[in-house]
Amino acid sequence: MSRTLIRGGSLVSSTETRQADLLIDGETIAEVRKALPAPDAEVVDASGKLVLPGGIDPHTHFDLPMFDTVSSDDHYTGHKAAAFGGTTTVMDFVPQPDGEGLRSGVDAWHAKADHQAAVDFGFHMNITRLDETVLAEVPRLVEEGITTLKVFTAYNGRLRLHDGEIFQVMREGAEHGMLTMLHAENGDVIEILVSEALAAGHRSPEWHALTRPAWGGVEAVLRGISLAAQAGAVLYVVHLNNAGELEQLRYGRNQGVRVMGEACLPYLFFNLEHLGRPDGAKWICSPPMRTEADNAALWGGLSDGSLQTVGTDHCPFFYDGTQPIEYEGRQVAIPGKELGKDDFTKIPNGVPGVGDRLPVLWSYGVQAGRLTPNQFVALTSTNPAKIFGLYPQKGTLEPGSDADLVIWDPDRRLTYGVAHARHRTDYNLYEGWELVGYPEKVYLRGNLIVDGEQWLGRPGMGRFFKRRAGAEVV
């Protein structure tokens, strides 16, 4: 087995920063201490650099069918983009199949992912239709290493469950140590407002946000917290995007409800103004961008510990899928946001981000003084590992843990954009942004997969991880 000594770096955990050497033996971290002797190991000089645990993105959508197309990153291209951004584990969502059991959906997603995976990965299970047969299948997911269930209060007639059904899912999941994830919007209000907007001839991108009011998310978050309290369940609210939702999260936690919240990178920076631009379709996702005041409130939630993770909700589409791009020497064109050029309801909902998360958050969080390096590691790696049943195998730099780590150059400056991000799409939300701090080397279970601009990974080297139930509430 190969041995690698990372020498002279500053190791950053969720709780401390220390000078130490780190020895990788095979796939795991063997030893961490100062002046570590390892005469038989390859030595990597990390002097002046930081060593971070590999990022864990708890919220991604690869190869996801939507409208008349599919998200443009599959489980290879999206994983590759994740790696270049310093993320070594991703979690994707399994859609519930029509007319079949949950297991068939899991099998179908393994068939998509297993042979393509370039980083390690796990699955969440969407529950979008409920009956006694489905409810009876829920405990069996734990045997498959899937310990999280996602429910929706929006997308009427497609994904939404009624409150009583959500309560049943939460209660059944809680009995088996599973966590429920909630997409919180008000589907009834959205249906009415969309119908009225179209009837009035409002079809431009900003109407996507105007027909999905923030107040619908606020009441849906509180409703989800209330249901979780009554079901005795652990709740994780995905992609909180406004100040009111954050206040409901704080209220629930103060009342002793076991609820946690996820911020997603775009909601920290973008707002309704971006949807009003000529290329506003680039910013279409659900829930939508809100206001500058909401951006600021979410930053406050990250800095004071009210929010537990930062994900991406990575679900990319081409801005103009009629024009091919070059990807790994081949021309690729996938129908994208041009499908809704005359109707906001037909614009595929989703934005790229899995490769952007760590570099952008470091530059505009840590470098800007909004977050400490330790908070950064907690939000992007350690907390997701704990919440989703991967800790301490993932999310930390301790002996026995997987050697998923990033050698981070805190002084590297670059003008960011689509060329750096490596997503398989034709635009980047952060095009032209100036960054300070960037991954230099990325290791997956001891294997060097990113070395500067060089890609050393390959399809199939990523491993599916069965996550344990009864994970920590942070």
Contacts of 132 (CB under 8 A, 6+ apart): none
Average pLDDT on 192-199 reads: 98
Average pLDDT on 64-83 reads: 97
Average pLDDT on 85-96 reads: 98
Instruction: Please tell me the total count of domains within the chain.
Output: 2
Amino acid at 107: D
Residue 385 inside a domain? The answer is no
Length of the chain: 474
Tell me, yes or no, whether 320 and 338 share the same domain: yes
SS3 406: strand
Q: CA 98 from chain center: how many Å?
A: 25
Characterize the bridge pairing of strands 120-126 and 148-152.
Answer: parallel
Listed residues 378, 407, 428: the one ending a domain? 378
Could you tell me the pLDDT band of residue 297, with boundaries at 50, 70 and 90? Answer: very high
Q: Provide the percentage of residues in the chain whose pLDDT is more than 70.
A: 100
Full-prediction pTM beyond 0.75?
yes
* Inter-helix orientation angle 163-175/214-231, to 10°: 40
Please report, for the domain that includes residue 123, its CATH number: 3.20.20.140
Residue 366 inside a domain? The answer is yes
Residue 289 inside a domain? The answer is yes
Residue 386 inside a domain? The answer is no
Tell me, yes or no, whether 347 and 413 share the same domain: no
For residues 354 and 358, what is the distance between their CA atoms, to the nearest angstrom? 9
Count Cβ atoms within 10 A of the Cβ of residue 162 and give its class: 0-12 exposed, 13-18 middle, 19 or more buried: exposed
Element (H, E) at 219: helix 214-231
Tell me, yes or no, whether 164 and 268 share the same domain: yes
**Mean of pLDDT over the chain:** 97
Tell me, yes or no, whether 171 and 97 share the same domain: yes
Characterize the bridge pairing of strands 50-53 and 17-19.
Answer: unpaired
Tell me, yes or no, whether 191 and 231 share the same domain: yes
Tell me, yes or no, whether 201 and 303 share the same domain: yes
Residue 461 inside a domain? The answer is no
Contacts of residues 399-403 at CB distance under 8 Å and 24 or more positions apart, as own/partner, are 399/28, 399/29, 399/30, 399/31, 399/32, 400/28, 400/29, 401/28, 401/29, 401/53, 402/27, 402/28, 402/29, 402/120, 402/445, 403/4, 403/24, 403/26, 403/27, 403/28, 403/29, 403/443, 403/445, 403/446
Peptide bond into 399 cis (omega under 30): no
For residues 423 and 300, what is the distance between their CA atoms, to the nearest angstrom? 29
Count Cβ atoms within 10 A of the Cβ of residue 304 and give its class: 0-12 exposed, 13-18 middle, 19 or more buried: exposed
What separation in angstroms does the CA of 131 have from each of 127, 174, 228, 408?
A: 10, 18, 20, 48
Tell me how many degrees the CA angle 375-379-381 measures, rounded to the nearest 5.
110
Average pLDDT on 445-454 reads: 98
Residue 387 inside a domain? The answer is no
Tell me, yes or no, whether 410 and 320 share the same domain: no
The strand pairing partners of 149, in sequence order, are 125, 180
Listed residues 378, 413, 436: the one ending a domain? 378
Q: What is the pLDDT of residue 99?
A: 86
CB atoms closer than 10 angstroms to residue 26: 13
The strand pairing partners of 464, in sequence order, are 121
Interval 238-277: pLDDT, tens: 999 999 999 999 999 999 999 999 999 999 999 999 999 9
Residue 467 inside a domain? The answer is no
Please report, for the domain that includes residue 414, its CATH number: 2.30.40.10
Tell me, yes or no, whether 142 and 38 share the same domain: no
Domain that residue 38 falls in: 3-52+397-455
Sheet holding 42-45: strands in order across? 28-33, 21-25, 3-7, 42-45
Tell me, yes or no, whether 15 and 72 share the same domain: no
SS3 96: coil
Tell me, yes or no, whether 154 and 125 share the same domain: yes
Tell me, yes or no, whether 337 and 310 share the same domain: yes
Contacts of 24 (CB under 8 A, 6+ apart): 2, 3, 4, 5, 6, 30, 41, 403, 443, 446
Residue 106 inside a domain? The answer is yes
Q: What is the pLDDT of residue 1?
A: 60
Tell me, yes or no, whether 109 and 192 share the same domain: yes
Interval 131-165: pLDDT, tens: 999 999 999 999 999 999 999 999 999 999 999 99
Q: What is the pLDDT of residue 38?
A: 84
Q: What is the pLDDT of residue 247?
A: 98
For residues 355 and 216, what is the distance between their CA atoms, to the nearest angstrom? 30
For residues 140 and 136, what is the distance between their CA atoms, to the nearest angstrom? 8
DSSP state of 378: I
CB atoms closer than 10 angstroms to residue 240: 26
Q: CA 277 from chain center: how many Å?
A: 26
